[in-house]
Structure 1
């Protein structure tokens, strides 16, 4: 058979095999398209920006869409996701953005919209069938990893919170392919950490409705594209900002890149915190990439610099904490459990602490890097959150290794210190807040402990101002009190440790602090999170959200090996209540943070 005839036959056979679905076709002599169309618009593109596989765009088909409403219909017993779509989002995505698909499932998506064509406006109500692929994440090869993303099991959900969507910012354990890129694994390396990201959004039935497919923007073994994804915050326009390693980024919920930038050259090693501030700037928790010490040596510093960048990435200010605070205050550092110095968890060192002689020897050595110690170039501050206060142009930081939340003004002067007085000297001693009861009367305290149910926070995370309840001079502060080195000591038994979610009221004029709410001591050691975690107020439901993110892990002291990953708690409380309205368990993962997600601001603005 001549070649031309064989080719024609093959084409005819292929065309005959096409499914009998509705296809958009051109004329006999004109252009044609062979994608399937449903409804009265154009093609469906799943995962349009390559990093969010549970999203899709229903293209506008060349029409003008004036308005639209999307409802992803639930599975039996599930939760629908419904939102209106603004004109801005319809134009940006070239059609109707669909968020919240179930993985490995043919989703029913209802789209109500108005279409404009040839001066005529028509209203349609279409239902689309959209399949989304199974979830994928890199396997770590560890015996207690059970799934690509951690399973989530609801325990209790009050109907008031049924429509909640929660972002889970977790990390898998260190993968073999990344080990030699990380500090001290076994020696040297180029990154602080490089834990494969497990970032997803779940509904209150525990179903994933979004996840970050990291591969296009992440490389676990590359120092400039690896690192630990941390510091997720939802901005006023509904997008997410976060950072990892040597980068800080902003993406919308559809996965569209707004910016993905390397850190400014003066800084390195982003982790923990990126605050999108009310002044339009971003406060990044970084280290100095090159600091000259008084003895002439140059070092990279560890988690002790706040860089303020504007919307275009220019650095407009910096807070060098080794210049602002006392980097040689060692009272907390000597009491830390060396088995849990944040994510550098070493079970073989559980319960061990540093002595004054250990600190002195370290300071006289050339040992620098991510090690608990004092002085610039070591992990003396371990700042894990920063929050801007627009009422006086200042920042509030959480310093884990000082067990203190500290407010610092634009002049780089300390305004107040919320933490135990022990070890704060000179001008800093005068900035330590005085505990009071609900009537404003002083509470009896030592330099590390207090009576009357009041306690400081210990190795805490997320010291965040509650904007909705604060006002100039009065700061309501939500904090996750991890609880290690509580009272400047290790308890007689590890099982005596506990964590708390806590809210304080600070009177900045009187320099007093009142503890107005807490949860956790009554939950006991099972709720104890030695590292990470979050406490945050949410105004839409007048609630306190809590993520006890590293609770429930176990290890064998004889071998120093973990026998299970943590099993974090997701909880949400009505304001003032100490019984959770929502409780969910996350299975077998190292949690960092979690938070409710507002899809209305993401799509309706």
Structure 2
């Protein structure tokens, strides 16, 4: 079997080609309000969306309503006056003959029928949902998966009204321009660090990819001027998830960086999941304009920290001080006060700074102690949303609210999850990483179980909204989901713009390996390595199968030569926050090489242990 080689277009290129095709088809006809052009899933990755196009002689408004399975399920929107109408349709049901009503400004109507395909099994259905149509209205609860599932949005009945077919990762946020910010589906390095984030319309069109050299993970935050805070790392130094960068919204250029190694010691205050490679594990970033600071969540130090935006200097730490040097405790840590209950947070996620300066987070509670002798087993543990009130003058902290402790182990998530603040007394608490193994509550991320053990795992996700401590919404799904975000499908700012999206920023230059060992000729690469080579617009992707510990070098040989070390020994990741990139075969490796600074024709060869093999593949970069 020869080495498999294939060229791949970027999704932005694929979508532009699809757009050109449906526009050409539209322009061939004379499409009117009575006989409009309808394109289902116009941008290829959002099957429950459609685009309706037609012309009118005079400018007119258009209203669209996707009819619900009952009246309360109607989803609609009104568009401003125009003569050339591009009407996005959102909220279609899967596997259903959808009725879509269009109404012009003069009252003239047209009822369309749009048939959709059934959603795949990876679009999970709720096992429980409790709310009312009056409360939830036309909102959807969007969830992004960490176990095999698809990002999807659910209405008040639990019906799926939107899903995406790409392996989107981490949080979904709506930007001020109405579009969604979400992690790309392009893996940069295991287990889940991707090339950057997409800016995408609800119709599925990707307008921009913001690439970051060190990759993206966990979270992003839109600044007032539109620039983006993106969590990243510098893999070349052997650690991950310990940096944040500010990215220019227009160019993708990195404007500023914060390095937590300059802020905190890496060998103290560790949680039960810490190792030297992933010593901090930053899973959230929040900019607070009032104090001009960044608040960050470090899962592997059980610490929520606050740093100065300009200088990067440490201001304070929320967390159990046990195990930290006394000089740091005295200067940066808070002392609990108040007459109510108080618990520190452990391996927390999703820190949020509230309008009054209070700090909210999801307290996973994993281990719920700083020393091994005090670790709490999952069956006796709890996870919760928590709100702390801090006094940075007196360095005092008070717990003013929590939800979840009373639910005990059935609400316990060792990893992921989030909270949202909507208004005073109105919160979301999402426990997305619940699991049992052989009937016992998991005390490690359930997605870490592989092989036969995986069959013994039962996954759950519970999303709760509370108003004045009353549960007004609760949904349970049979999978693990990183975060939950309540969003409306339609947004006035999210206007469909035609034309090709932009690939911004850079993947950087892939680090080269300069010490080339002596080898013997091996001929063509053996079939047993299952080598596959893919050429993307901005990188080369090498995939193969090797035994653990084999020495592998990928070589590009042309007018200049370049060698890259391909790791075959995988780290024991203690925090598998997204498991959707995991291969079923533990020997599988994937290694990308950025095309940055590579130009010319290159023959691709492979060194495995003492032999050098020819792949038979030549690429022009």
Structures share fold, TM-score greater than 0.5: yes
Structure 1 379/555 Cα, relative in aligned 2: closer, same or farther at 3 Å? farther
CA distance in 2, matches of 1:560, 1:604: 44
Structure 1 96/561 Cα, relative in aligned 2: closer, same or farther at 3 Å? closer
Equivalent residue for 1:254, pick from 192, 195, 203: 203
Moved more, 497-506 or 57-66: 57-66
Q: Which residue of 2 aligns with 1:453?
A: 341
Which sections of structure 1, spanning at least 5 residues, go unmatched?
Answer: 1-30, 115-121, 137-146, 174-196, 219-227, 291-298, 342-371, 438-442, 444-451
Structure 1 164/502 Cα, relative in aligned 2: closer, same or farther at 3 Å? same
How far did 1:94 drift? 4.8
Equivalent residue for 2:170, pick from 222, 227, 230: 230
Q: Which residue of 1 aligns with 2:156?
A: 204
- Conservation of the 8 A alpha-carbon contact between 1:476 and 1:503: yes
1:500 maps onto 2:392 in alignment:
no
Q: Which residue of 2 aligns with 1:70?
A: 64
SS of residue in 1 equivalent to 2:65: strand
- Conservation of the 8 A alpha-carbon contact between 2:53 and 2:85: yes
How far did 1:600 drift? 4.7
Structure 1 86/167 Cα, relative in aligned 2: closer, same or farther at 3 Å? farther
Structure (1 or 2) with the greater strand fraction: 2
* Structure having greater relative contact order (Cα 8 Å, sep ≥ 6): 2
Equivalent residue for 1:133, pick from 117, 129, 141: 117
How far did 1:321 drift? 0.6
SS of residue in 1 equivalent to 2:324: coil
- Conservation of the 8 A alpha-carbon contact between 1:498 and 1:527: yes
Query: TM-score scaled by structure 2?
Result: 0.67
- Conservation of the 8 A alpha-carbon contact between 1:103 and 1:209: yes
Q: Which residue of 2 aligns with 1:22?
A: none
Structure 1 428/278 Cα, relative in aligned 2: closer, same or farther at 3 Å? farther
Query: TM-score scaled by structure 1?
Result: 0.68
Structure 1 485/63 Cα, relative in aligned 2: closer, same or farther at 3 Å? farther
How far did 1:38 drift? 7.9
Q: Which residue of 2 aligns with 1:156?
A: 130
How far did 1:514 drift? 2.1
CA distance in 2, matches of 1:493, 1:33: 66
CA distance in 2, matches of 1:514, 1:601: 38
How far did 1:240 drift? 0.9
Aligned runs of 1:421-436 on 2, under 5 Å?
A: 421-425=321-325, 426-427=327-328, 429-436=330-337
CA distance in 2, matches of 1:65, 1:97: 18
Structure 1 599/148 Cα, relative in aligned 2: closer, same or farther at 3 Å? closer
Aligned runs of 1:188-199 on 2, under 5 Å?
A: 198-199=150-151
Q: Which residue of 2 aligns with 1:190?
A: none
CA deviation map 1:558-586 (0-9, x unaligned): 98545134111111000x31x41111110
Q: Which residue of 1 aligns with 2:477?
A: 586
How far did 1:123 drift? 4.4
- Conservation of the 8 A alpha-carbon contact between 1:84 and 1:600: no
How far did 1:547 drift? 1.2
1:488 maps onto 2:370 in alignment:
yes
- Conservation of the 8 A alpha-carbon contact between 1:83 and 1:603: no
Q: Which residue of 2 aligns with 1:412?
A: 312
CA distance in 1, matches of 2:220, 2:351: 13
- Conservation of the 8 A alpha-carbon contact between 2:171 and 2:183: yes
- Conservation of the 8 A alpha-carbon contact between 2:367 and 2:377: no
- Conservation of the 8 A alpha-carbon contact between 2:179 and 2:202: yes
Aligned runs of 1:161-176 on 2, under 5 Å?
A: 161-173=136-148
Cα root mean square deviation, aligned: 2.8
CA distance in 2, matches of 1:47, 1:602: 20
Q: Which residue of 2 aligns with 1:5?
A: none
CA distance in 2, matches of 1:523, 1:603: 40
